[in-house]
Amino acid sequence: MRGFIHKSCVFYFAYFIIFMVSFSSCRSHKEILSSDSEKTSVFYKKKIQTKYAGLLNVEENKIENLKLYLFIDEWLGVAYKYGGKNKSGIDCSNFASTIYSNVYTKSLTGTSSSIFNQCNIISKNNLEEGDLVFFKIEGTTISHMGVYLQNNKFVHASTKKGVMIDDLDEDYYKKYYYKGGRIK
């Protein structure tokens, strides 16, 4: 019986020591987790820069407005829905309005055509990140829009593929491109 008591005391003593070491090191674990979270955040931002530099065919250091690209990353692939205003479906003008509200803290409302009327015209060669691009796809009125990014690329809610990035030099968009605009 003495041997049993002695072995169980050793077991509980070892358990107690392990518990105390674990408990006393909680603070350092939290510090490590905090540090890892920051690293993950930096890692995620770098991942976003790398991803969008590749999609836009620019150098990573050109991806400066991380708020914009983080926002786009959350919305890529969201389905198109006429009149839609959220991630269950969104149309082109509401998507542009949502970007402006969340990234630039500016209010845009209305259809593509009415938003165009709120803009100063910008030539295609002078477009800057955040400018708006407008298209006349359905006849003579503006019927589609997007937000210009860089290197002739723009983000928009396409009727067939939802939120995506396209190139103004693609034949389809070249054919229907109308004008660029900058909010007054």
Active site residue 144: yes
Asked whether the predicted pLDDT for residue 13 surpasses 70, the reply is no
Q: Give the burial string for 5-14 (b: 16+ CB within 10 Å, else e).
A: eeeeeeeeee
145 membership: H or E segment, kind and range: strand 144-148
In tens, the pLDDT along 26-78 reads 443 333 334 445 545 888 889 999 999 999 999 999 999 999 999 999 999 99
Q: What predicted TM-score, i.e. pTM, was given to this entire model?
A: 0.78
How confident is the model at residue 40, as a pLDDT? 53
Residue type at position 169 = D
Q: Is the pLDDT of residue 153 over 70?
A: yes
Average pLDDT of span 91-102: 98
Inform me whether the pLDDT recorded for 3 exceeds 60: no
Buried b / exposed e along 138-158 (16+ C-beta atoms within 10 A): eeeebbbbbbbbbebbbbbbb
What are the extents of the domains in the chain?
A: 1-64, 66-183
- Is 29 considered catalytic here? no
Q: Is 6 a catalytic residue?
A: no
Question: Could you write out the DSSP letters of every residue in 60-118?
Answer: GGG---HHHHHHHHHHTTPPB-TT-EETTEE-HHHHHHHHHHHHS-----S-HHHHHTT
Does pLDDT of 17 surpass 70?
A: no
The pLDDT value recorded for residue 16 is: 44
- What per-residue confidence (pLDDT) applies to 59? 96
Residue 91 CB contacts under 8 Å (≥ 6 apart), including other chains: 80, 81, 82, 83, 84, 157
Rounded to 10°, the helix 26-56/66-75 angle is 80
Question: CA–CA separation, 92 vs 130, rounded Å?
Answer: 15
Per-residue pLDDT band for 82 (boundaries 50, 70, 90) equals very high
Residues 15-35 have a mean pLDDT of 41
Cα end-to-end span (Å), the chain: 90
CATH code for residues 66-183: 3.90.1720.10
Instruction: Return the higher-pLDDT residue of 92 and 39.
Output: 92
Average pLDDT over residues 173-182: 98
